[in-house]
Chains A and B, each alone.
Chain A
Amino acid sequence: MLLAQRRTLVRQALTTLPEGERAALVLRDLEGLSTEATARILGVRPVTIRSQAASARAKVQAFCARLIQAQGGRS
């Protein structure tokens, strides 16, 4: 899949996430901040960040897998 297509897919996936999960995923995984720093920025506890990021990761993976599968089925 082209990089541009991947970007679009990933951005779509991110928009399906609730705000808290999206923020935790972006700060933690994409910006590379620590759990503590992310928690401080978002004003929540680190345990909240961990669970929100984990939930976001699972959802993104499921979203992408579903779409790729659907595309693969069509082509």
Chain B
Amino acid sequence: MTPHVLDQLPLWVEGDLDLQEHLSVEGHLAQCPECRAASEQLRASQAWLRAALDSPFSPEDRERLRRKVMAQLHAEPAPRPLGRLTSRHALLAASAATLLLALSWRLSPRPATSAVPPQILPSQPHGSVQPALSRPAAAPAWPPVPLARAAPTSYPASRAEVLDPPGAAPARIEFQTADPSIRIIWLAQAKPLPETTPSAPEAP
């Protein structure tokens, strides 16, 4: 009988022997009960090791999970990197800037003939900026409400209110945007501006 192969069994059990050694060990195992018993114990130990640390999930479970995760990833919109304005925010910022410009122009001391009450939009429960556009005759010198011009119809400001008369205390304009969590409040302090030909503010 060939020499015992107990030392080689840990390599044999996982196929780490080269072909010739492997066949030699197998040949001996066929003849040696002692080594055969040891080989079976080692095999069982390895199976036990794997079973004990095996995941309860089958490959099908893993595949299903992977597909679900990928579907969810594709369904969600890509996160916007911080610091980059979305088109919505850009419009809002531009509209607000235009409004401020218009307001400061409006509040500057001007000849009485061109005094026009500031654009007051009617308070409406579900107002949009569209009413401002429907009253062009009421405010000939008043530039169009920037929000109406700048904002697309899909993104109206719901309400703009001028709460104070011009030229007195700082004007305060509040408007609720389409996003219920965003409300814009502008305070503008009138300052004398050099007398210039009033012109429409820059469109955003």
Contact = CB atoms under 8 A, between A and B. Distances in A.
Q: Counting chain B CB atoms within 10 Å of each CB, which of A3, A50, A61, A65 scores highest?
A: A61
Interface stretch (B22-30, B38-46, B84-92, B136-144): B38-46
Interface of B: 9-11, 13-14, 16, 41-42, 45-46, 48-53
Q: How large is the interface on A (under 10, 10 to 19, 20 to 34, 35 or more residues)?
A: 20 to 34
B144 to A, nearest CB: 67
Given A50-B16, A53-B16, A55-B10, A60 B45 contact: yes
5 contacts: A10-B53, A30-B49, A35-B16, A58-B10, A64-B48
Which 10 residue pairs across A and B have the least CB separation, nearest first?
Answer: A54-B10, A61-B45, A10-B52, A6-B52, A57-B10, A58-B10, A50-B16, A54-B11, A7-B52, A61-B42
A29 interface: yes
Interface of A: 3, 6-7, 9-11, 28-30, 35, 50, 53-55, 57-58, 60-61, 64-65
